């Protein structure tokens, strides 16, 4: 006994002392954290796990110094396991600091800043892989503290050889998706916020995990695909290298439509549209076979959202202009009566 206090009391006092020390350190750094944003983020994320780790370490040291020897293997062992878990929690929180720094401000510029979206995607993947590795190491280290695992480790590994082969074959598809997720994260072919067309669905990449990708479709449904789909199946990435797109609208009209006048009308429509980026626009005749004349109107847009709106606007206004100013050029099937065949 120390000062008339039992070993449990000493451990509790030591644990409380560790928690208090961490709180005092955070309090001392608070003035600096107000000026340094990343330090404030670090202190907020690691405060609780640091308190728990410090308290457990202090309790383990007090047990080692003042506690009964018969407690070292029992209580001390469980304290070591708790320290491993708390330390893993602390390290994963530190990794979240890196992830938070990469994600900072992405929501406002996700459609325009390709480099920031690339860093965010890589940070998310690295965070998940490193967190999983840290917890695996912590669990493995905890298991090794049990004498049975050290004594019979070789036998356990030998008997698990066949099971490991079977498990490896069963997990082949899972590992394929895991490696595909890493390839997507660091291959720069797909990023969070990219607009893609996959499985004939148009949407934005909302989540990119190790084994699956969530695409938020335009009608707010979610399309969930394995990451290996994006490494083995062709798909369209509209924002892979740049955001600008060309809006293309095609019409079938009567041959009598004045093309030059239609071209001037398209110029007027596009110039008045807030969705045009001011780069390119034009109207050409692409086909003239059968009863119809096919014209193609094109205009550039800064991003996919503006691209869609511009297409709809061009189609709506051009159809209205043709119907109002040249109703005789609206496509129709003409049947001209001829002489009756002789019998």
- Treating both helix axes as pointing N-terminal to C-terminal, what angle do 172-187 and 153-170 enclose, rounded to 10 degrees? 70
Cβ contacts of 46 within 8 Å, gap of 6 or more: 90, 93, 94, 97
pLDDT at 320: 92
pLDDT at 175: 66
pLDDT at 267: 92
pLDDT at 297: 92
pLDDT in tens, the chain (343 residues): 444 466 677 778 888 888 888 888 888 888 887 777 777 777 788 888 888 888 888 888 887 777 667 666 677 788 888 888 888 888 888 888 776 665 554 444 444 555 666 667 777 777 777 888 888 888 877 777 777 665 544 444 444 454 454 445 445 566 677 777 777 777 777 888 888 888 888 888 888 877 888 998 888 889 989 888 888 888 888 776 666 778 888 988 888 889 999 999 999 999 999 989 888 899 999 988 778 888 999 998 888 778 888 989 999 999 999 999 988 888 776 666 665 555 4
pLDDT at 169: 45
Q: Which of 184, 181, 176, 217 lies closest to 199 in space, CA to CA? A: 217
CA separation for the pair 62, 10 (Å, rounded): 7
The three-point CA angle 292-298-301 to 5° equals: 155
pLDDT at 79: 85
Distances (CA, A) of 42 to 48, 91, 99, 125, 261: 11, 11, 11, 20, 64
Distances (CA, A) of 153 to 81, 137, 161, 265: 19, 16, 12, 81
Q: Which of 310, 298, 300 lies closest to 243 in space, CA to CA? A: 300
pLDDT at 2: 47
Question: Pairing state of beta strands 293-301 and 245-253?
Answer: antiparallel
């Amino acid at each position: 006994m120390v000062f008339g206090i039992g070993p449990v009391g000493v451990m509790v006092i030591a644990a409380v002392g560790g928690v208090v020390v961490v709180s005092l350190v955070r309090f001392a750094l608070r003035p600096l954290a107000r000026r340094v944003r990343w330090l404030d983020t670090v202190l907020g994320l690691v405060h609780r796990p640091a308190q728990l780790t410090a308290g457990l370490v202090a309790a383990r040291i007090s047990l080692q110094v003042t506690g009964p020897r018969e407690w070292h293997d029992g209580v001390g062992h469980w304290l070591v396991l708790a320290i491993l878990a708390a330390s893993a929690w602390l390290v994963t929180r530190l990794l979240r600091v890196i992830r938070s720094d990469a994600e900072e401000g992405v929501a406002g510029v996700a459609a325009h800043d390709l480099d920031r979206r690339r860093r965010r995607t890589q940070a998310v993947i690295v965070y998940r892989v490193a967190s999983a590795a840290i917890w695996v190491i912590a669990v493995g280290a905890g298991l090794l503290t049990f004498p049975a695992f050290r004594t019979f480790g070789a036998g356990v590994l030998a008997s698990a050889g066949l099971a490991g082969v079977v498990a490896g074959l069963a997990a082949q598809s899972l590992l394929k998706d895991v490696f595909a997720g890493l390839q997507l994260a660091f291959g720069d072919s797909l990023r969070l916020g990219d607009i893609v067309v996959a499985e004939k669905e148009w949407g934005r990449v909302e989540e990119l995990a190790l084994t699956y990708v969530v695409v938020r479709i335009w009608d707010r449904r979610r399309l969930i695909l394995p990451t290996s789909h994006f490494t083995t199946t062709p798909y369209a990435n509209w924002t892979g290298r740049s955001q600008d797109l060309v809006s293309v609208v095609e019409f079938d009209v009567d041959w009598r439509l004045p093309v030059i006048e239609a071209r001037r009308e398209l110029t007027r429509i596009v110039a008045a549209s807030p969705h045009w980026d001011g780069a390119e626009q034009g109207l050409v005749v692409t086909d003239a076979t059968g009863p119809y004349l096919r014209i193609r109107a094109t205009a550039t847009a800064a991003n996919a959202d503006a691209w869609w709106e511009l297409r709809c606007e061009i189609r709506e206004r051009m159809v209205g202009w043709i119907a109002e100013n040249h109703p005789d050029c609206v496509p129709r099937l003409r049947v001209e009566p001829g002489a009756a065949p002789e019998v």
